[in-house]
Chain A
Amino acid sequence: MEGIFSLDFLLTVVQEAFRLKIIIFSALGVFTGVTVGAIPGIAGDVAIALLLPFIYNLQPVAALGLLLGIYKGSMFGGAISAITFGVPGTGGAVVTVEDGYPAKKNGYPKKAMLTALFSSVTGDIVSTVILVFLALPLAMVALKFGPKEYFSLYVFAILMISLLLQGGMKKGLMAAAIGLLLGCIGMDPITGTTRLTFGIRHLRGGVPLIPLLIGMFAISELMTQYLKAWYRNRSKYIKESELSESSSKLSKESGYNPSKDIMSFKVYLSTLKATFIGSFMGTFIGALPGAGSSLAAFVSYGLAKRLSLHPEQFGKGSLEGVAAPEAGNSATVGSSLIPLITFGIPGSATAALIGAAFMMMGMQPGPLMMQDNMPAMYTFFVVILYASIMNLFIGYFLIPIYAKFSMIKPRFIYPLLFILAIFGTYASRNSIIDIWLLLAAGLLGTLLKKAKYPLGPLVLAFIIGPGAERSLRQALLIGQGEWSSLLKSPIAIGFYAVTVVTIILITKAKFQEKFS
C-alpha cells in the first residue's frame, strides 16, 4: 500500500494512461457521447449498452475510457439540442431548456452553449477529483464490512433506487423486485442449485447480462421511438424542417448580432457560483444510488435560483440557469462511480452499465477492486480526468457543427441501432437464443415503460441482486437462520435507520405534494 504514492508508481500510471491507443479510444468515446447526446431520444446509456459486446478484445483501460468518454460526452451533448431547438437531448438536459432556449431566442446562443460546456466540464472535473480522493479511503472502510453490513447497504441502495426516481414509489419497488427475481434465475451463488430455469439449459448460467441490458436500454427505446420517427415525418409531430426554419427565423427576428454573442472569461466568472452549486449538488446526488442526472439538474437549478442575486431572470435566458443544471448533471458522472467502485453498488443505471463493463474485464466492482487492480484503477482515474478536458475541446469544436444541423435525423439512426444491437448481442456469445432473449427483454422493458414502471431499479437490482443474496444468506448462515441476527451490527442498524428516515421523509414530501 505504501507504494501507491511512490514516484515510480505515479510515473507508470501516467505513462500507461497516455498511451496513444487509450487516448484515441477516450477521444472516440467523448465524440460518440456528444453526438448521441445531441440526438433527442438516444442517451449515452443506449450507446454504452450497444458497445458492451465489443469491448472484450480491448485493453481494460482503453475500453473503460471509451465507455466513460461516452458517459461524459453525452451529458454535455444533451444541452446542444436543448439550447438550439428547445428539445432536450437527454433526460439530464430537460432543465437546461428552461433558460437555454430563451437565451438562444434572446440572441446569445453561443454564450449559452459555451456556458453549458464550461459548467459541464467544471462539474465533471469536481466530481472526478472527489472520486479519485474518496475511492481508496471508502474502499478501505468497505473492507471492514461483513455480510450483515453489506446486506443492510444493499437494502438501502435498492430502496433509494426505487424511491428517488421520479414516479411511483410502489412501481419502483416492484420493478426492483422483478430485477431481483430475474437475477435469481440460474445457479444460486452459495450451493449451485439451479432455480427458475424451467428446464431451459441455456438459462443455467443465469439470464445473460448483455441481451438484458441492450434489450432494456436500447430495444425498449427503439420500440418506443420507431413509429414516432414515422409520425414526425408525416407532420403529426413537429417537422424537423419547420423546427429548423422557425429556429433560424427566431434568430433573424431577434436581430442576432454575432459581435454581441461572445463568450468571455468574465461571463464564465459570472456563472461560477451557479456552476459550483451544480457541481457539489450533482456530486452529492450522483453518489446516492439511483438518484440520477435529472434529479441532480433539477435540484441544482432550484438551489442556484434561490441563491442567485438575480432570481427573476431565471426562465428568461439566465446563463446561471444554464450553468447550474449542466454542472449538476455532469457532476453525477464521477460520483455515481463512487458507490460502484467502493461497495460494488452503482449510483445510476449508466454506472450499472460501467459496472457490467468492469465485470466483463474481470474486475469485480467492490471494496477489493481498488486493492486488486491498483495500477489499472489509478490509470483509469487519470484517463477519466483527461477525458473531461477532451470533452471541453471536442465539445467546443462540435457545437457549431451540431447546432447547424436542422437536427440529427433519428430515422437514419434507429434502424442502424437495431442492427447493431442484434449483431452485438450475437457476437457476445454466438448464440441465436441470446437474440430472442434480447427481444424479450426489449418487449418487457417497453410494456413496463408504458405503465410507468421505471427500468433503472430493475436493471440495478438485477446486477446487485446476486451480491445481495450472497450477503443475506451468509449473514443468515452465521446467525443460524435467525433473521434478528441481521440487526446485530451497529453499522447495519445505522443503514436501516437511515433507510427508514429517508422513507418517512420522502413519503411525507409526496403526501404534501399530493394534497397541496
Chain B
Amino acid sequence: MKRFFLNYDLFLVGFITLIGLVGLVYFQFGMSPGPTGPFIFPKLSCFIIFIFGVLTMIDTLGEKHADTDPEVNILSVVLFGILSILYVLFFSRIGIITATFLFLVFSFSILSPKGVASLKSSIAYSAFLTFLLWIIFVQIFKIILPQYLLF
C-alpha cells in the first residue's frame, strides 16, 4: 500500500511537472508574444510549476515513506465521484428534483448505521428535504431548474 501511495505522489508530481514543461515549451516556441505580450504570465506560471515540480520529484524519489494524507481515502473519492457523476447524468435526463430525491435516499441509506434497513426513514427524510429544497429554490429564489423527463 505504501508503495502505491509513493507511486501516487510521484505520478501526480510527474504529471503536474509535465504540464509545466509542455506549457513552457508551447509558450516559448509556439507563440511569439514579445516580452510584454499575453503569454508572458502563463509562461512564468509554467516555469514555476516545472522548476518546483522537478525539485519535488527529487524529494519524493529520496523518500522511503509516502508523504500522502491518510485522511483522504481513495475509495471514498471514487465512490463519491461515481455517485456525483451519476447524479448529474440522471438529472440531465429525468429532472433535478427526482434525481435529488433518489440521490438523497441512496446516500442516507448507505451512510446509516443500519444500512438498507433504514430505508423507510431515509425515504421520509429525503422526501422532506427535496420538498424543502424545491420550496427554497423554485418558489422563494425563483430559480429555473432544468426540467427533463420527470419533475
Q: Which residues of B contact A222 (CB under 8 A)?
A: 80
- CB contacts (< 8 Å) of B67 on chain A: these are 168, 451-452
Contacts A415-B107, A452-B69 known; A177 to B49 CB distance under 8 Å? yes
- Given A415-B107, A427-B137, A473-B41, verify A451-B68 contact (CB < 8 Å): yes
Residue of A nearest to B104 (CB): A415
Count how many pairs of residues, one from A and one from B, have CB atoms less than 8 Å apart in the complex.
176
Min Cβ gap A168→B in Å is 7
| Interface 1/0 per residue, A180-201 and B, CB below 8 Å | 1100100010110101100000
With A181-B45, A223-B77, A411-B112 as given contacts, are A432 and B92 in contact (CB-CB < 8 Å)?
yes
Residue pair B68, A174 in contact (C-beta under 8 Å): no
> In the complex, which residues of chain A have a beta carbon less than 8 angstroms from the beta carbon of B71?
224, 228
Smallest Cβ-Cβ distance to A478: which chain B residue = B36
B38 contacts A190, CB within 8 Å?
Answer: yes
Please, how many residues of chain B have a CB less than 8 angstroms from a CB on the other chain?
63
Query: Roughly how many angstroms separate A422 CA and B89 CA in the complex, as a whole number?
Result: 13
How long is the Cα–Cα vector from A398 to B81 in the complex, in angstroms? 35
State the CA gap A188–B69 with chains docked (Å). Answer: 36
A177 adjacent to B69 (CB under 8 Å): no
User: Which A residue sits closest to B145, measured CB to CB?
Assistant: A426
Cα separation A168 to B57 with both chains bound (whole Å):
12
State whether the Cβ of A356 lies closer than 8 Å to any Cβ in chain B. no
| A476 x B35 contact (CB < 8 A) | yes
**Contact pick for A170, options B9, B59, B79, B113, CB 8 Å:** B59
Given A230-B111, A414-B107, A432-B146, A472 contacting B41 (CB threshold 8 A): yes
CB distance from B142 to the nearest CB of A (A): 9
* Chain B CB within 8 A of A435 CB: yes
Partner of A436, one of B38, B45, B88, B96: B88
* A137 interface contact, C-beta 8 A: no
CA distance A219 to B77 in the complex (A): 10
Q: Within the complex, what minimum Cβ distance (angstroms) separates B26 from chain A? A: 10
**Partner pick for A427 among B73, B75, B141, CB 8 A cutoff:** B141
Contacts of B8 on A, CB cut-off 8 Å? 450-451
In this assembly, does A449 line the interface, its C-beta being within 8 Å of a C-beta of chain B? yes
Q: Using an 8 Å CB-CB cutoff, how does the interface string of A142-176 with B read, 1 for contact, 0 for none?
A: 00000000000000000000000000101101101
Interface string of B51-92 (1 = CB under 8 A from A): 011011001000000011101111111011100110110001
Say whether A180 contacts B73, CB under 8 Å: no
Give A86 to B35 CA distance when docked, in angstroms: 56
Interface residue from B16, B69, B87, B96 paired with A178 (Cβ < 8 Å): B16
How would you classify the secondary structure of chain B's contact residues: helix, strand, loop or mixed?
helix
- A477-B111 contact, Cβ under 8 Å, with A178-B16, A180-B41, A443-B81: no
Asked if B76 and A481 sit within 8 Å, CB to CB, the answer is: no
Complex-state Cα separation, A213 to B46, whole angstroms = 22
Instruction: Tell me the minimal C-beta distance from A514 to chain B in angstroms.
Output: 12
Report Cα–Cα, A435/B110, bound state, in Å: 24
Contact status B69-A450, CB under 8 Å: yes
Task: Report yes or no: A181 in contact with B68, Cβ–Cβ below 8 A.
Answer: no
* Residue ID in chain A nearest B74 by CB atoms: A450
Closest residue of A by beta carbon distance from B40: A473
Q: Which of B4-45 contact A (CB under 8 A)?
A: 8-9, 12-13, 16, 20, 23, 34-42, 44-45
Within 8 A of B (CB), among A219-266: 219, 222-230, 233-234
A393 close to chain B: CB less than 8 A: no
Closest to B39 in A: A195
A184, A191, A451: most-surrounded residue (chain B CB, <10 A)? A451
Q: Which of B49, B59, B112, B113 contacts A181 (CB 8 A)?
A: B49
Residues of chain B contacted by A188 (CB below 8 angstroms): 38, 41
- Verify B55–A423 contact, CB threshold 8 A: no
Partner of B68, one of A191, A418, A452: A452
Are B143 and A427 in contact (CB-based, < 8 A)?
A: yes
Minimal beta-carbon separation of B92 from chain A (angstroms): 6
Does A115 have its Cβ within 8 Å of any Cβ on chain B?
no
Q: What chain B residues lie within 8 Å of A191 (beta carbons)?
A: 37-38
Contact of B129 among A181, A416, A448, A469 (CB under 8 A): A416
A411 adjacent to B108 (CB under 8 Å): yes
Q: Nearest Cβ distance between residue B41 and chain A, in whole angstroms? A: 4
Complex Cα gap A439–B82 (Å): 11
- Answer whether residue A309 sits at the interface, using C-beta atoms and an 8 A cutoff: no
* A414-B107, A427-B143 known; A227 vs B68 contact (CB < 8 Å): no
Whether B72 pairs with A477 at a CB distance below 8 angstroms is no
Complex: chain B residue closest to A192, CB-CB: B38
Bound form: Cα–Cα A225–B75 in Å: 11
Q: Does A504 have its Cβ within 8 Å of any Cβ on chain B?
A: no
Whether the pair B80, A171 counts as a contact (CB closer than 8 A) is no
A227 closest partner in B (C-beta)? B76
Q: Which residues of chain A have C-beta atoms less than 8 A from B81's C-beta?
A: 223, 439, 443
Report A-chain residues with C-beta under 8 Å of the C-beta of B16.
Answer: 174, 178
A128 at the interface (CB under 8 A from B): no
A180 touching B48 in the complex, CB below 8 Å, given contacts A171-B56, A226-B76, A452-B68: yes
Of the A-B pairs whose beta carbons lie under 8 Å apart in the complex, a sample of 5, sorted by A's number, is A168-B59, A178-B45, A181-B45, A195-B39, A416-B129
- Told that A57-B141, A415-B103, A442-B84 touch, could you supply 18 new A-B pairs with CB distance under 8 A? A174-B56, A177-B20, A227-B80, A228-B71, A415-B111, A423-B133, A423-B145, A427-B141, A427-B143, A435-B88, A436-B88, A439-B85, A451-B9, A451-B67, A472-B40, A472-B44, A473-B36, A481-B35
Which of A's residues lie within 8 Å of B, judged by CB? 54, 57, 168, 170-171, 173-174, 176-178, 180-181, 184, 188, 190-191, 193, 195-196, 219, 222-230, 233-234, 411-412, 414-416, 418-419, 422-423, 426-427, 430, 432, 435-436, 439, 442-443, 446-452, 465, 468-469, 472-473, 476-477, 481
Q: List the 6 closest pairs (A to B, CB-CB), nearest first.
A: A227-B76, A415-B107, A481-B35, A188-B38, A177-B48, A411-B111
